[in-house]
Amino acid sequence: MDYYPRKHLAALTDPTSRAALLTGAHSLWYEYVCLRLHQALADLESALVALPDTVSRAIRAELEVEADELRVALDDFSGASSGDEPENERHWEFGHPFVKDDDGMDTLSDETREQFDHREAGFTPEEREKATADLRVLVTAHSLGGGRWASLNDAGSGIFAEPYDSDGFYMTVHAPEPGDDDASWEIEVGRWEPDDPNEEYGDHTSATGSPVIGCALPVAPSADEIAHLLKSVDGKPLLLAEWAEAPVGAVLAGTTMVVTKRYDS
């Protein structure tokens, strides 16, 4: 047990320190939050370019105040306060400061943090570092992919994408769990099937999802490669149905990924 690092505070007001938000492996949840903060600050910088100088200076001044108040509160909490600091008058009672809830995870909630903590319990430092690197790839890919129907799942261990009008097909991107030397990155296409065989998909009362094909990747994909998949199925949802018909050994249309397994054979 130890306190979280403070690199995120410096990043609020010092652009030169923001690269540090993309390094380190303190813990999955902390590094996830730092990446989301990096994305938020990059969005802010892009927005400031189009604003009058007086407005952008006012916004930067607000960040300075925010960072100072956070440091005062943190020093008070950790017992490092000198007692001369002004009384902290700011209260953070809302759920999503600085970050958007657009990847399916409630970034700053206790539930999300507990999910990450549970997943990394028992990791060695090397396994935590590997899991953190894979998490950055997935979060960045989701951000670049822009899919409205995609979300992170299982404490950031994969991406689930089910675009509208996909006829019940969906895609998952799985990162290998650290410690399993035989595991690889895998892309799967699955489909929801009505639990009642007399019901049609779309009019069903309940359904169960099952994988149809799998593509075990020989090397880890980049965030851009995963984002390309997300954009492809978001723009053409029935591409998933086309991929689901591919036999073992076939290359998925529009990709370089080879089908390595059919679950119905």
Domains of the chain by residue range? 7-119, 146-262
Place of tokens 């799942």: 153
What pLDDT does 84 receive?
A: 61
Q: Output the six-digit token pair for 18.
A: 């923001």
Q: Is the pLDDT of residue 79 over 90?
A: no
How many angstroms separate the CA atoms of 117 and 96, rounded?
Answer: 20
Residues 159-168: tens digit of each pLDDT: 999 999 999 9
Sequence-ordered strand ranges (E) for 156-217? 158-161, 169-174, 186-194, 207-216
Residue-wise over 125-136: b if at least 16 C-beta within 10 A, else e?
eebbebbbebbb
Q: Do 135 and 32 meet the contact criterion of CB atoms below 8 Å apart?
A: yes
What pLDDT does 202 receive?
A: 74
Q: Is the pLDDT of residue 92 over 60?
A: no
Q: Output the six-digit token pair for 184.
A: 């690889």
Place of tokens 């895609």: 171
Distances (CA, A) of 91 to 16, 88, 115: 28, 8, 26
Q: Is the pLDDT of residue 94 over 70?
A: no
Residues 99-116: tens digit of each pLDDT: 666 777 888 888 889 999
Q: Do 231 and 142 meet the contact criterion of CB atoms below 8 Å apart?
A: no
pTM over 0.75: yes
Which residues have CB under 8 Å from 81's CB, separation 6+?
Answer: 72, 75
Q: Is the pLDDT of residue 97 over 70?
A: no
